[in-house]
Chains A and B, each alone.
Chain A
Amino acid sequence: MDWECCWDKSTVTTSDCPNIGEGEEDLLQSQQRRILEKCCDCDRFKHDLARFRDSGNPLAPVLALINTEYRHQKNQIQSLVSFLDNKTLEVRFLHELGSVLQSSVDLDEVLSVALTAITAGKGFGMNRAFLLLFDRNRNLLYGHLAIGPRNYDEAWQAWNEISTTDMDLQTLAQNFRHKKLTTERAKFQDILKQMTFTLDNSDHIFAKTMDSNQPALIEDAFHHPDVDPELARLLGVDTFLLMPLISRNRRVGLIIADNCITHRRISEEDMRSLETFTFPVAFAIERASLYDRLQVELNRVTEAGKKLKEQQEQIVKMEKMALVGRITSSIAHSIRNPLMIIGGFARSVLKNTPETDPKRDFIESIVGEARQMEGVLDEILSYSDALYPAKDFWNVNQMVTATISETSDRLQALGCEISFVPGESLPAIFIDYKQVAYCLKTMIMSAIDGHKGGRIDIRTYGDGDQVIMHVSDTSVRLSQEDLDRLLVPFSTTLELGSGLGLALCKTILDKQGIAFNIRLLPDTGIDYTISFPTRKEE
């Protein structure tokens, strides 16, 4: 019998068998493999089988049965191989995804990876994905981020771009994070800001999905009994997938994915694939959120530590100052009695010394020097007193007016002009009146001491929670070096004399937590700015 198929030939050429294609030339020499791989499916072989059956050979139906069963088994194996290939790809992808997610604690990066994985062609290939995060305090889900095209043109452009580049998931996610995260947020802002859903309503599809901790495929959304029509309208699709993000029984968020552009059917298989993906995503998001909170707490602790250190330094400084204060006070008091006796007796002797007595000059010197030393002692004692302010609420304008009035005689005598512009409706300031008035007096007296003419301008005004007093003194010219020295106790400058003066003012105001800034005005003088609190400190 002449057979149509080449199954009976040990070797064939390509013209003998139409089923052997390029790259399969080895089958030309291997009869057994050719029969199993090609002949069983070949129409010529089927014709030969039919002819064999027609010949009445009892083996013919058996051979046909074996052939049919063989082809069936072969198809099943091919399906399984295809399924396994897909699963292998999926496992590889999930492994890649897991590696990327595990290596990041940055929330934006994790979210970029998650949403890129859902929408990337080599990932789950969905067209669009929304991420809603769970707000534990308010028990609601709110729109946080979305990814995907909004129309066909944009989709075509994006997919074309992706198809021309072969990027792995991490690169795709990094690309998204650095180049598109902000624009995607802005692009979906209108939808995201409408996506706030309370979970108090247990009938809502989101609440049900979160409660079940199972993904849900929503079909015919516009007529679905559990879907809020507003949500369906917002998404604009009738089929979408909901994936709850739950990590260790803690709600993290919800992903909504759909095929808004291609309208490709979402299968149960898609849903199951995505289900395996949600756990690492939820865990990574929770971890990144915790890391964010940890970072915030760490910053607060660092800040608190810094503040504590500053306060410790301040306490040490205050203790040193208190010690200095106690020592200076003790020394000053020990000196005051003998000084008083020297000065007192010198005065007594001076009174009884005739104007013509040549020794009178010496006695006058003793009286003068003793008076000057008593003045220095008063300043030193004021310095130690400054360490213990007694604060209350006072009217700043009244304090300035009273202080100007106290110094007016000396100001007039030296031809120094002074102006005061009081601020209107100022709140009371919380200060030690006596000490702050002393500071203002010191500033005025520093301006006029040893100088004739010049001008002092004082003004007060409100600034938020504070009241500002601004003193501008145009009677002196100082260098920055002189100014720095002036703020150190017991330093001297040629211009502003000796003693404590401004250093004492700074100590007094620092102690009361009042900001005191001194600024040199080029060629014109000094500017003092004092910011008074209007509330009791905590």
Chain B
Amino acid sequence: MSKLLVVDDEANIRLLYAEELAEEGYQVVTAASTAEAVEKLHMSEFDLVVLDIKLKNESGIDLLQKLVKERHDMPVILCSAFSCYKDDFSAWLADGYIVKSGDLTELKQEIARVLAKKAQRAKVGL
């Protein structure tokens, strides 16, 4: 069972993601801030991070850069209400980009795609 870390400052969104992704068979852990996310990442191993970009007074992009630097094997899917970040070079570091929607189909498909890609890379020893 893949373990996902969902980082979002909105409690209801964390709850929705946790419910929906658990239903898909993932083990979901949530974090409300980048500090909490970093702490949880240190405490436990995760297969993928679903990361919001606008987190109250913080930027998810900063956490993304930190993860790329320190945990380059950790896939990250950016999930934001802002479609404009799609064209931002910083966001290109992420493995996937989803514009938030009540319909989580796209998010679920993206998670499956990124995890499959990760598994394939592990298989060939990258």
- Across the interface, B13 reaches (CB within 8 A) one of A340, A348, A378, A381, namely A340
State whether the Cβ of B62 lies closer than 8 Å to any Cβ in chain A. no
In B65-109, the 8 Å CB interface with A consists of 81-84, 87, 100-104
- Which residues does chain B contribute within 8 Å of A343, judged by CB atoms? 101-103
- Across the interface, B101 reaches (CB within 8 A) one of A333, A340, A385, namely A340
Centre residue among B12, B16, B102, B103 by max chain A CB count within 10 A: B102
In A311-353, the 8 Å CB interface with B consists of 333, 336-337, 339-348
State whether the Cβ of B58 lies closer than 8 Å to any Cβ in chain A. no
Cβ–Cβ contact A370 & B81, under 8 A: no
State whether the Cβ of A144 lies closer than 8 Å to any Cβ in chain B. no
- Which residues does chain A contribute within 8 Å of B100, judged by CB atoms? 336-337, 340
With A and B bound together, what is the CA distance between A378 and B81 in angstroms?
Answer: 10
Q: How many residues of A contact B (CB 8 A)?
A: 21
B111 to chain A, nearest CB (A): 15
Chain B residue nearest to A336 in the complex (CB): B81
With A and B bound together, what is the CA distance between A246 and B13 in angstroms?
Answer: 88
State whether the Cβ of A219 lies closer than 8 Å to any Cβ in chain B. no
- Across the interface, A342 reaches (CB within 8 A) one of B83, B102, B104, namely B102
Cβ–Cβ contact B102 & A347, under 8 A: yes
Cβ–Cβ contact B10 & A337, under 8 A: yes
A174 to chain B, nearest CB (A): 70
Centre residue among A337, A343, A346, A371 by max chain B CB count within 10 A: A337
Cβ–Cβ contact A344 & B104, under 8 A: yes
Cβ–Cβ contact B84 & A371, under 8 A: no
With A and B bound together, what is the CA distance between A367 and B101 in angstroms?
Answer: 11
- Across the interface, B102 reaches (CB within 8 A) one of A344, A378, A385, A390, namely A344
B4 to chain A, nearest CB (A): 16
- Across the interface, A370 reaches (CB within 8 A) one of B54, B87, B102, B104, namely B102
State whether the Cβ of B19 lies closer than 8 Å to any Cβ in chain A. yes
Cβ–Cβ contact A348 & B20, under 8 A: yes
Chain A residue nearest to B100 in the complex (CB): A340
With A and B bound together, what is the CA distance between A520 and B10 in angstroms?
Answer: 49
Interface size range on B against A: 10 to 19
- Which residues does chain A contribute within 8 Å of B84, judged by CB atoms? 381, 385
Given A337-B81, A340-B13, A348:B103 Cβ within 8 A: no
A384 to chain B, nearest CB (A): 9
- Across the interface, A341 reaches (CB within 8 A) one of B10, B54, B103, namely B10
- Which residues does chain A contribute within 8 Å of B102, judged by CB atoms? 339-344, 346-347, 367, 370-371, 374
Chain B residue nearest to A366 in the complex (CB): B102
A374 to chain B, nearest CB (A): 6
Cβ–Cβ contact A337 & B103, under 8 A: no
Query: B1-41 vs A: 1/0 string, CB under 8 Å?
Result: 00000000010110010011000000000000000000000
Cβ–Cβ contact B82 & A337, under 8 A: no
Cβ–Cβ contact B10 & A345, under 8 A: no
B102 to chain A, nearest CB (A): 2
B54 to chain A, nearest CB (A): 8
Q: Which residues of B contact A (CB under 8 A)?
A: 10, 12-13, 16, 19-20, 54, 81-84, 87, 100-104
Q: Besides A337-B100, A348-B16, 5 other CB < 8 A contacts?
A: A340-B102, A343-B101, A343-B103, A344-B16, A374-B101
Q: Provide 18 A-B residue pairs closer than 8 Å at the C-beta atoms, listed in order of the A residue.
A: A336-B81, A337-B10, A337-B100, A339-B102, A340-B16, A340-B81, A340-B100, A341-B12, A342-B102, A344-B104, A345-B12, A347-B102, A347-B103, A347-B104, A348-B19, A348-B20, A374-B101, A381-B84
Sorted nearest first, the 9 A-B pairs with minimum C-beta distance are A343-B102, A336-B81, A344-B16, A341-B12, A344-B102, A340-B102, A333-B81, A340-B100, A370-B102
